[in-house]
A and B are shown apart, each in its own frame.
Chain A
Amino acid sequence: DAGITQSPRHKVTETGTPVTLRCHQTENHRYMYWYRQDPGHGLRLIHYSYGVKDTDKGEVSDGYSVSRSKTEDFLLTLESATSSQTSVYFCAISDRAGATNEKLFFGSGTQLSVL
């Protein structure tokens, strides 16, 4: 398995509180992604990073921010959590982007519940 660690694995929080999820990789891959998985919607891209301090928005970025100060860490922050952000969050990494044979490797996910 690719060296990807997500923390925490489970979190319960209250509406309006800030939450930060962490993705840590040991593969030295340049590209990192945050997805959320919801019943009826599948996996959807939140934000991604193409290098240290280089990030961009995905399909469902509203209410989320990200930071990448080191190659190995990609943080996802919910500034003020809402119940609609209850979901399973997955981090993914890849070595390249735009290459037709490049695969994504996923972490084990973080189950977040916002009450």
Chain B
Amino acid sequence: KQEVTQIPAALSVPEGENLVLNCSFTDSAIYNLQWFRQDPGKGLTSLLLIQSSQREQTSGRLNASLDKSSGRSTLYIAASQPGDSATYLCAGNNAGNMLTFGGGTRLMVKP
């Protein structure tokens, strides 16, 4: 059974800092690894999806990497802004989009 862990559970950084969020998974037989953003009281918004054959994906200031052999993915946020404050969730997709989610990292970017 897939297990996904995110560390740290919470992170506070000053505006402008580059930061890395970590995600680890136990079953490397994944179709893809997805990163989501969740704002308080809202649903999840898909940020990046890394297919099993890929090593990384980029969207604007976000870069996600995937290392299946070590069971790790990272989300890199460059030049953080207060608007980046949210909870970030990673999820491993092992079959048919039945995702296994990590517990999330709650990010606070201070002005």
B partners with A? yes
A residues near B (Cβ < 8 Å) are 4, 31, 33, 40-45, 48, 50, 58, 90, 92, 94, 97-109
B residues near A (Cβ < 8 Å) are 4, 31-32, 34, 36, 41-46, 49, 51-53, 89, 91, 95-99, 101-104
- Chain A nearest CB: distance from B57 CB in Å? 10
Determine which residue in B31, B36, B52, B96 has the highest number of CB atoms from chain A within 10 A of its CB, and name it.
B96
CB nearest to B52 among chain A residues: A100
Task: State whether B96 touches A42 (Cβ < 8 A).
Answer: no
* Residues of B close to A33: CB separation below 8 A: 97-98
Partner of A109, one of B36, B43, B99, B101: B43
**Sampled A-B contacts (7; CB under 8 Å):** A33-B98, A43-B99, A43-B101, A103-B46, A103-B49, A106-B44, A109-B43
